[in-house]
Chains A and B, each alone.
Chain A
Amino acid sequence: MAGFVDLYTEADTFLHRMDPRVKIFAVLLLSLLALVLSNLYYLLILLAFIFLLLFLARATFSHTMFALKFVLRFMALIIILWPIFDPSGTPMLASLGPIKITEPAIWRGFTSAARVGCLATVWYILMFTTSQRDLVRALVKMGLRFDFGLTLAISLRFLPTFSALIDSIKDAQRARGLELSKGGLLKISRNYVAILVPTIVAALRTADALSLALQSRAYGARADRTYLRDLKMRVSDGIALGVLVAAFVLPVLAKYAFNVKL
């Protein structure tokens, strides 16, 4: 628990150099595409494409496993539980009391699991290749109010700080004899009060100090905030955006305008 996972890995690939706005747009479009497609094979192709991008982003093995650990478990559960609760379809394979297991239900389970896999892994293209600073700046550039962006930046910046703070308070209370690993769930949870109260008080003090610091640096004095480095769309970003929009629009057109089964 001590180490705090920062998902961003420093590297110099085309995904790292890409404009974060294009990457946010890409994640949204690919997620929508996963919801539009309903055939297992096309969903698997999309999943392979997402993994290709992750590979090209030079995501380290440990990071990829971290991202996949939860998703794989989730997909396995869907595949196991779906047929049990879905009795529709004709070729019945087995039945036990009220539970009927049919062949189409099993395939539907696999399709849903593939879709969930796409939706869950596509996030990590953005998270692995974009630093928090770039992410917030892209959101502000896309029209988020600057003060809201600042709030988001503050919360992202203080997350590791508070994680470390909670760990050290945990150690301090353990040294005074607090048990956190023994007993049932209720007992452990009750013991967490001794950790949460000092954490919250320290955090509220930090908030007071931070508001003074913001005021002393003339926060909100000028409406048009300027930046040292500004985001600019380059030609390669434009090309990437074009390819993405094509990859989204063509299947959607084929499905809804020309009634191709996808």
Chain B
Amino acid sequence: MGLWDDVGQTLRDVFFSKTSPLAWFLVAFLLALIVYHFYRGFKERKRLGTSAQANFVSPKTVALYGILTALTAAVTYASYLPFSPTKGYFNLGETMVFFSALAIGWREGAICGGIGSAAADILLGSGIYAPITAVAKGAEGFVTGIIGRLKGGAHWGPVLGVVIGLLIAVAASWPLPGRMFGVDEWIVLVILFLVTWVVVLALFQRWKDILSIATPMILGIATGGAVMVASYFLGEYFLLNVGLGKALAEVPINVAQVVIGGTIGGLLSFYVRRSYPALANQ
């Protein structure tokens, strides 16, 4: 009954149907990437003689990536809180993904978050989740690292206004019945958007010193978290084929995990930078 049904149907056709070329293209692209990586490894070893200059990544990178991966897995393992059967398990591994992405960089967030969380899944006895976890947490670290590490500043006020205004307008447009108070739906939405924008901008001016630094971080955590929750849902529903009920049951836990993990991960990236200043030079 309106715009959003058509948009939803188009999205379903493009991304999620089994005959969609885009979905198959994405799968094929990922597979090709993995095959290419192994092929490069083979050729490199064939080509390099004893005298050739080795082309390895630097020892600093090897050490940092190895340590961060181990740390992500260890924190997930140590903070594991088992809940009643329907709730699965809750852990603070998320904090390490957000921390690596925010304090060090998107590469570390993606690689160490993905591989470390997958390793923890295997060690905690839920190895079936490991492939999905690697993709979901990797994508989360990647997105959070890209958006969350943008520079803070005064220009974030209008951006924040646009994002929150759009979110509220979208949320409000679901139950709208086409016409309201005798005016068209889109006029109501535009007015709602503009009002939100002005309110957010006014609040931003008020708490400029906090919000201008925290905004990219919050947006990054929110976007990365949304990516993670969506990847888990899609992976469970389409890949493991566990049924809609089980897949939906996981969503609230994952959202709670993002909220708590994001709060602590954001705090950690401040605290650790303060108590370990060398981190800024990494």
B53 at the A/B interface (Cβ < 8 Å)?
A: yes
A232 at the A/B interface (Cβ < 8 Å)?
A: no
* Chain B interface residue count, Cβ-Cβ cutoff 8 angstroms: 77
Shortest B124–chain A CB gap in Å is 7
B residues in contact with A211, CB < 8 Å: 58-60, 62-64
Q: List 23 A-B contacts (CB under 8 A).
A: A1-B78, A5-B123, A70-B126, A74-B128, A77-B246, A78-B242, A78-B246, A82-B246, A112-B241, A112-B243, A116-B242, A120-B128, A142-B38, A151-B65, A166-B78, A196-B75, A200-B272, A203-B68, A210-B67, A211-B60, A211-B62, A223-B48, A224-B45
A186 at the A/B interface (Cβ < 8 Å)?
A: yes
B residues in contact with A163, CB < 8 Å: 74, 77-78
Shortest A259–chain B CB gap in Å is 20
Shortest A171–chain B CB gap in Å is 12
- A200 to B100 Cα, complex, angstroms: 10
- A165 to B119 Cα, complex, angstroms: 18
B66 at the A/B interface (Cβ < 8 Å)?
A: yes
* Chain A interface residue count, Cβ-Cβ cutoff 8 angstroms: 79
- Listed stretches B85-93, B160-168, B179-187, B196-204; interface member: B85-93
Closest chain B residue to A160, Cβ basis: B74
- A230 to B45 Cα, complex, angstroms: 16
Which residues of A150-183 are within 8 A (CB) of B?
150-159, 161-163, 165-167, 170
B107-149 interface bits toward A, Cβ cutoff 8 Å, 1 = contact, 0 = none: 0000000011001001111111010000000000000000000
Contact status of A85 and B245, CB under 8 A, knowing A192-B79, A211-B59: yes
- A156 to B74 Cα, complex, angstroms: 10
- A33 to B278 Cα, complex, angstroms: 50
B268 at the A/B interface (Cβ < 8 Å)?
A: yes
B207 at the A/B interface (Cβ < 8 Å)?
A: no
Which residues of A104-134 are within 8 A (CB) of B?
109, 112, 115-116, 119-120, 123-124, 127
B residues in contact with A82, CB < 8 Å: 243, 245-246
Shortest B58–chain A CB gap in Å is 8
B residues in contact with A242, CB < 8 Å: none
Shortest B61–chain A CB gap in Å is 8
- A196 to B78 Cα, complex, angstroms: 11
Shortest B266–chain A CB gap in Å is 11
